[in-house]
A and B are shown apart, each in its own frame.
Chain A
Amino acid sequence: MHYMTRAGAVRAVDGVTFSVERGQSLGLVGESGCGKSSIAISLLKILPDSARILSGSILLEGVDILPLSEDEMREYRWKRISMVFQAAMNSLDPVYRVGDQIIEALELHVGSAPSEAVERVRELYDLVGLNHSFIPRYPHEYSGGMKQRAIIAMALACEPAIIVADEPTTALDVIVQDRILREMRKVRDALDMSMIYISHDMAVIAEVSDVVGVMYAGRIVEFGETKDVFENPIHPYTRALMSAFPSVTGEKRELATLPGEPPNLLAPPSGCRFHPRCPYATEECRSQPPPTVRRGVHWADCWNPPEDQSP
């Protein structure tokens, strides 16, 4: 997926392939600007005007949603695939009551009568641990954590098959963050939903996901079961990300062992996109795209992978 800007095409997502099983949780991790949110909005096809999906396919329960028209797509949104937004704080419309915003989705997709819809909102509030008295209140009366719960309740409203959660807890303090993570896991287990969980924080990903994809500069550079990736990371970028955790403050911090920033995606570096920052970079890294190293389902794209340390 590319953003067409005046300065040229920003290749925000470039050759990414992954799949999620029913009930499975996939984590996507990477620094900000790596294209994680771009993947998320592509999955629902809620792209800004400047964005184009040039090629590829997105299969949802076996149907490719890319060629679908807006009208057909609307049937999928929220009912089959819903989303918890990165900026949860601002994802609620300030001029409507929170309860009404959830009911809006219910009436649209489930077609429930007003009284049933209100009943359903009560259930959802119970599920995410919010007090019923907040249903008829406005977003500005909610605290940050409460807004986040409300957003999660809204995402669950139509019992979608898959939820995309884009940095759902980044803006919250660690304690609230922890509680919400636990609740999300509980809800997911209870409802047997799939989930794509996006974060820049390795610690969070480790906690919530079954499989992990590590993103760098618009590509997935390493992929595998969470356990494998964490115990035996292959890609130098993954290792750099891991050295930055555990997080104590929950704030965005510099990667300790990794100076610099992700590249400008207007003109990504040649060869391995990570080479300008990689401590192990060699000549071929600069000129040739790296080969895929496979260890079972666990793989990574790198010229100079470390020794396999698994038994």
Chain B
Amino acid sequence: MSPQRTYSQTQPSLWKARLTLATRSLRQSWTLFLATRIGVIGLAIIAFYALLAAAHPILMMFVWEERVYDPVVGYAFEETRQPAPPSLKHPLGTDPLGRDVLSQLMFSARSEFMLGLLAALVTVSIGTIVGAVSAYFGGVVDAVLMRLADIMIMLPVISVLVVLSALIGVEHFELAIIIGIVSGFGATGVVLKSQALSVVVKPYVEAAKTAGGGHVHVIFVHVVPNLLPLSFLYMMFTVTGAIFSEAVLSFLGLLDVRMSWGLMIHVTESAGYLLQVTEYWWLIFPASLSITLLCSSFYLVGRSLDEVVNPRLRQL
């Protein structure tokens, strides 16, 4: 029997063991996570907005008349003056163009989640691979990737997006990809590399190498899985960054989107209601608060995960 054979035969049980270990540590982590409190608050906020996002298509289908409630082209015909204050039919009033604010808010929640998720996925894919490859090969590969990381870390992402919006025009998809790249090659990649450094010296990595596992195989089977918990943590911070940047850009009117929280404030500004905070509060507060809350909720979850992963930060 060649060493290669033995090696591949042990693999299923390896994964099984890993899975049991993972479930057990997951349960422990969950207990620790619950103890942090701020994480639970964050999770509750996320759940609230997820519910809003999920309810929107259902309401549109069964309750809300499309002509009136469409977040982009709807119009509240029954109101005599736009923007109209909150009423039974429009719980958060209408915007200067006569569109229902609640519907806009709920519709946008969904795109914020998709944007955040996409950015986070791109970040994690790039970050884990950069981290693993950089730690595994070291040398020139590491040097090049780390110089690149230097620049990504120092790149003011919103300013970059501002310039890009003038040059190529940016939509949600591009925004997510760009944020994912900057964070993945930058801060996330660096953190994951330092984690990967402690993984590549583990005996099982050495064993896999001597057993004839190719570079790609060893990296993906033995190094990357050990980076996933930490990269999950950094996903949270990426989501915060993505939602925040989207909101800023669409608020500045630099993003080609049909509707988003930032755009809602942009419309308010263009119509000149921005400083009538008390008179037209529904034009400013729902969107701004939603951006703030959703950003901080992912940040809070990330911070408490940080405490779970890094015992140094835990209180005894």
Could you give, for residues 50-62 of chain A, a 1 whenever the CB lies within 8 Å of some chain B CB and a 0 otherwise? 1000000000000
Question: In the complex, what residue of chain A is closest to B314 when comparing beta carbons?
Answer: A6
Q: Closest approach, in angstroms, between the C-beta of A52 and any C-beta of chain B?
A: 13
CB pairs A–B below 8 angstroms (4 shown): A5-B316, A6-B315, A6-B316, A50-B316
Residues of A near B316 (CB, < 8 A) are 5-6, 50
Range, interface on chain B? under 10
Task: Give A residues with C-beta under 8 Å from B.
Answer: 5-6, 50
Cα distance A6–B315 when bound, in Å? Answer: 9
Name the prevailing secondary structure of the A interface residues: loop
Q: Closest approach, in angstroms, between the C-beta of A173 and any C-beta of chain B?
A: 26
Name the prevailing secondary structure of the B interface residues: loop
Could you give, for residues 286-316 of chain B, a 1 whenever the CB lies within 8 Å of some chain A CB and a 0 otherwise? 0000000000000000000000000000011
Residues of B near A50 (CB, < 8 A) are 316
Question: In the complex, what residue of chain B is closest to A4 when comparing beta carbons?
Answer: B316
Cα distance A266–B167 when bound, in Å? Answer: 65
Question: In the complex, what residue of chain A is closest to B315 when comparing beta carbons?
Answer: A6
Cα distance A302–B3 when bound, in Å? Answer: 57
Residues of B near A5 (CB, < 8 A) are 316
Question: In the complex, what residue of chain B is closest to A50 when comparing beta carbons?
Answer: B316
Report, nearest first, the 4 A-B pairs whose CB atoms are least far apart: A5-B316, A50-B316, A6-B316, A6-B315
Cα distance A5–B315 when bound, in Å? Answer: 9
Q: Closest approach, in angstroms, between the C-beta of A114 and any C-beta of chain B?
A: 39
Q: Closest approach, in angstroms, between the C-beta of B182 and any C-beta of chain A?
A: 34
Residues of B near A6 (CB, < 8 A) are 315-316
Residues of A near B315 (CB, < 8 A) are 6
Cα distance A158–B315 when bound, in Å? Answer: 36
Q: Closest approach, in angstroms, between the C-beta of B167 and any C-beta of chain A?
A: 47
Q: Closest approach, in angstroms, between the C-beta of B169 and any C-beta of chain A?
A: 51
Q: Closest approach, in angstroms, between the C-beta of B314 and any C-beta of chain A?
A: 9
Question: In the complex, what residue of chain A is closest to B35 when comparing beta carbons?
Answer: A6
Question: In the complex, what residue of chain B is closest to A7 when comparing beta carbons?
Answer: B316
Could you give, for residues 269-294 of chain B, a 1 whenever the CB lies within 8 Å of some chain A CB and a 0 otherwise? 00000000000000000000000000
Cα distance A5–B316 when bound, in Å? Answer: 6
Q: Closest approach, in angstroms, between the C-beta of A266 and any C-beta of chain B?
A: 13
Cα distance A6–B32 when bound, in Å? Answer: 12
Could you give, for residues 193-234 of chain B, a 1 whenever the CB lies within 8 Å of some chain A CB and a 0 otherwise? 000000000000000000000000000000000000000000
Q: Closest approach, in angstroms, between the C-beta of A215 and any C-beta of chain B?
A: 23
Cα distance A50–B316 when bound, in Å? Answer: 8
Q: Closest approach, in angstroms, between the C-beta of A14 and any C-beta of chain B?
A: 20
Q: Closest approach, in angstroms, between the C-beta of A138 and any C-beta of chain B?
A: 26
